[in-house]
Chains A and B, each alone.
Chain A
Amino acid sequence: MTVLPTNPAPLPYTKDDFVSGAEVRWCPGCGNYSILSVMQRTLAQFTTPKEKHIFISGIGCSSRFPYYMNTYGFHTIHGRAPSIATGLKCTRPELTVWVITGDGDSLSIGGNHLIHTMRRNVDLNIVLINNEIYGLTKGQYSPTSNKGKVTKSSPDGSIDYPINPLCIAIAAEATFIARTVDTDPRHMGQVLARAAEHKGVSFVEIYQNCVIFNKDTHVPITGRENREDRALYLEDGKPLIFGKNKDKAIVLDGFKTKIVELAAVRDQSNLLIHRENEPSPNYAYLLTQMEYPAMPVPFGVFRCIEKPTYDEMLNDQVRMSIEKKGKGDLEKILYTDDVWTVQAQGKKS
């Protein structure tokens, strides 16, 4: 969790303070540039000292991220960043720990850690950069690639059904779930700031463009000419409305969502109102099921609820243990009631 400044005093940092100076080695045009830049700018909005931000990543293009942040960083191994971040956060709860991962890293090889980190509600900010392809290994289909995707390893089209990252997050009952896109820096900045402020696990999916191996994969949804009709920007407490003219809305039709013409809705109370803090995960799950091309794809904060965090509960148990038993006494734990003494005088020659 990170705290936004409450007084108007000048902020201690500018974006440049978060630039490490290491040469950035992503391909020209890679969506990661925008994500990096927005992250640096976002952190500069906070008063949290630079040395308290920790970036931990796995393996893949996106996982080079920590090298470019002028903070503490750890580029770990494939899929395992959440586990390393968990151990860190449990022992250093005062730090703000970011996990930077990709679709292959966190949903394929690291799927297990992602699920368990989210269900434990460890206070981490997980940023999943989703370009629906393996970039660093040069273009194989990933767990989020569409079925039928032709890649180097699927010349006849992928026969894997894709996984929906946000569904996984909801199934694991993550307490903060959001989606944004690399081509919308303003929205991305807002979402990342919200993720940083959230206490508990924050899971942010960022649609990202891999210019080399999966160019424009998100354009049908997020392209400038498409997004007003195909993307739906979530606003807490407001009805789900979208379209160039803000003329379409979402209503419930049994267990599904349905698009209606706003003008045709007589009773406004029938409109689906966005509630980030809805305790049941069912509503957020419905949102994740809104997929292109049948439905507009939601962006923004799907879910934001409060729940005690793992690190907080662990440290509470430590505190309670000390309150109950006192600070551990090594003498007492070694010399228990069961000891016996062998006397020197009883010793034979």
Chain B
Amino acid sequence: MPSKIIEKELEAVIIRFAGDSGDGMQLTGDQFTDTSAMMGNDIATFPDFPAEIRAPQGTLPGVSSFQLQFSKHEVFTPGDAPDVLVAMNPAALRVNLNDLVKGGILVINTDSFTEENLKKANWNTNPLLNHSLKDYSLIQVPVSSLTKNALQTTHIKLTEVNRCKNFFALGLMFWIYGRTLDHTIKWINEKFGKKPEIAEANVMALKAGYNYGDITETLQARYLVKKADIQPGVYRKITGNEATALGIVAAARLTGKQIFFGSYPITPASDILHQLSKHKNFNVKTFQAEDEIAACGAALGASFGGNIGITSTSGPGVCLKSEMINLAVMVELPLVIINVQRGGPSTGMPTKTEQSDLLQAMFGRNGDSPVAIVAASTPANCFDTVIEAIRIAVKYMTPVFFMSDGYLANGSEPWRLPKISELPQIKIEHPKKGEGPFLPYARNEQTLARPWAVLGTPGLEHRIGGLEKADQTGAVSYDPANHHRMTQLRQEKIRRIAGDIPPAEVFGEKKGKVLVLGWGGTFGAIHAAVAECQHEGKPVSACHLNYLNPFPQNLGEILKNFSIILVPELNMGNLIFMIRSQFSAGADPSFGGAEIHAVGYNKVSGQPFKIREIKEKIAGLL
């Protein structure tokens, strides 16, 4: 190693890998993340890619990126602005340069800065030649040609050689940040096991990139980020969609029930279906239906049969499933609807994140049709939250929405694995033939749930359906008083769930000027922003909701103790609408007549909140 190379220790680094959507940036980012996680850093990731599988090469819409933060401290988001940008082509530089911090490291694949590529990316002149990048620590590397040179001895096609360049870039980054290669080499060999010559070429490119850092004198510094000071335990890296799938697998075991997962492919939810379809030996059956409606219908059919029906989708799919969900409300069968939210309305922005479907989950059906709603707050939290959705669905005989979003679904973080023995056992009881006729709409006094008769049980034959039911007998009824009573019962059943969920927690002082109230995937940014404010001595607390309907019983008490409730949401005001309608003197006399002062902070750009944005908003309220 040349002697002049200096080594610096850093607290945290934010890297963004950016390139053409065919350049393998997601994979590169993933590998860097895996290695960093296994080396003990805390991590958070944000993959950001276009909906097109292969947008025209070299163009701005075709840019795909992957940002990660790795740190020696606990991190809650992938970071606001990258310290390091790896730009594999001019388009990637154009799209991402503005985000890079001044003085940040900019790694450029110079080979791709051809006249044609520059033109496609709207660069009139080559930015590498006109000093326009002087504010950054520029590392120019001819990645494509170096990869080609390194792979001279292989016998693979030139197009395949070119595809190895992301591993060269990864190798170089591994050198700069002192990462080990073994995990990625192992991964390559497993991934390309059937094509050993490709595996070999990728490993060669990876090593060549690493050695390039080691032997050339282009690079003056290496950086070290020590192991994170995080809770002891066994960890693994997990995305939200993976955690959701694993939660479902775990629930099959915890309930002792067969789980039937009906789905129709839709971005960004499809990975849950992909994952589960591999786990048939876990008592989970997957069904790719002809459409969203059938996916939901089949799940409900499974629940009718005495098993657990789950369907997954994104907002547009929920629109289609609404009628079926309403049927589940009426027949009071368990059903879990997973909504991995994305930018809307309509087709919207399929690969971009948003949380604008909360009111759809709450109200998007005809009639008075209450359902339970839970939302995950981090990728790993999807595991516990989906199990919770299933627990509520089977205990209260109701549809439950499980809300995730594109940011949680594809983003990853280290997950401290639970001990199997610590997972909640979910007990399910089914009625047997007793004295007298079976009453399908008799209710459990405590939960108000109706009995869940397993089809095939002799003596319990009964009929259910979407027509209003007579209390107790479940016969079709148009009786006015009965309809009123049944509507109240359905509402009251959902309300009672509030007594069966953990209270909301306040992060920080229980009384103060500003409470930042969030839900779902904005947890990381809100938590980090509030933590920084508290560190600066500001009177700010946070409360993050996993239960949206019903709310935790203590929420009103919490809200009363703050002068201002700031509600940041990636929508135009879903939660704040619910808060204002439930916690006002008029809506809830028990609230004591005090009005809460709720202020929305709404962002609908398809991008998650930055910590800085929330901090600025808080500062404006103090």
Q: Which of B236, B306, B463 contacts A20 (CB 8 A)?
A: B463
B205-227 contacts to A (CB < 8 Å): 227
Judging by beta carbons under 8 Å apart, are A338 and B464 in contact? no
Q: When chains A and B are docked, how far (Å) is the Cα of A348 from the Cα of B304?
A: 53
Instruction: List the B side residues contacting A280 at CB < 8 Å.
Output: none
**Residue A256 interfacial (CB < 8 Å):** no
Instruction: List the A side residues contacting B38 at CB < 8 Å.
Output: 338, 340
Q: Which of B228, B300, B456, B465 contacts A51 (CB 8 A)?
A: B456
CB-CB nearest 10 A-B residue pairs: A75-B465, A87-B298, A87-B301, A83-B297, A328-B282, A83-B294, A84-B301, A116-B290, A73-B463, A88-B301
Bits for B240-267, please: 1 = Cβ < 8 Å to A, else 0: 0000001001101100001010100000
Which residue in chain A gives the minimum CB-CB distance to B257?
Answer: A91
Bits for B282-323, please: 1 = Cβ < 8 Å to A, else 0: 110101011101111111111011110100000000000001
Judging by beta carbons under 8 Å apart, are B455 and A86 in contact? no
Instruction: List the B side residues contacting A59 at CB < 8 Å.
Output: 466
Instruction: List the A side residues contacting B459 at CB < 8 Å.
Output: 51
Instruction: List the B side residues contacting A314 at CB < 8 Å.
Output: 285, 287
Which residue in chain A gives the minimum CB-CB distance to B466?
Answer: A77
**Residue B359 interfacial (CB < 8 Å):** no
Judging by beta carbons under 8 Å apart, are A328 and B283 in contact? yes
Q: When chains A and B are docked, how far (Å) is the Cα of A23 from the Cα of B405?
A: 48
Q: Which of A88, A324, A334 contacts B305 (CB 8 A)?
A: A88
**Residue B324 interfacial (CB < 8 Å):** yes
Judging by beta carbons under 8 Å apart, are B323 and A77 in contact? yes
Judging by beta carbons under 8 Å apart, are B420 and A91 in contact? no
Also in contact, A330 and B250, with CB within 8 A (given A74-B463, A76-B297, A90-B302): yes
Instruction: List the A side residues contacting B331 at CB < 8 Å.
Output: 74
**Residue B25 interfacial (CB < 8 Å):** no
Which interface residue of B280, B296, B418 has the most chain A CB atoms within 10 A?
Answer: B280
Q: When chains A and B are docked, how far (Å) is the Cα of A90 from the Cα of B299?
A: 10
Judging by beta carbons under 8 Å apart, are B294 and A113 in contact? yes
B112-137 contacts to A (CB < 8 Å): none
Judging by beta carbons under 8 Å apart, are B298 and A90 in contact? yes
Judging by beta carbons under 8 Å apart, are A116 and B294 in contact? yes
Instruction: List the A side residues contacting B306 at CB < 8 Å.
Output: 92
Instruction: List the A side residues contacting B279 at CB < 8 Å.
Output: 328, 333
Q: Which of A20, A112, A325, A333 contacts B290 (CB 8 A)?
A: A112
Instruction: List the B side residues contacting A82 at CB < 8 Å.
Output: 294
**Residue B5 interfacial (CB < 8 Å):** no
Judging by beta carbons under 8 Å apart, are B294 and A72 in contact? no
Also in contact, A87 and B280, with CB within 8 A (given A50-B461, A92-B455, A341-B235): no
Q: When chains A and B are docked, how far (Å) is the Cα of A179 from the Cα of B27?
A: 56
**Residue A245 interfacial (CB < 8 Å):** no
Judging by beta carbons under 8 Å apart, are B285 and A339 in contact? no
A119-176 contacts to B (CB < 8 Å): none
Can you list 6 contacts pairing A with B, beta carbon distance less than 8 Å?
A72-B462, A82-B294, A87-B298, A328-B283, A330-B250, A335-B234
Q: Which of B232, B282, B417 contacts A335 (CB 8 A)?
A: B417
Judging by beta carbons under 8 Å apart, are A51 and B420 in contact? no
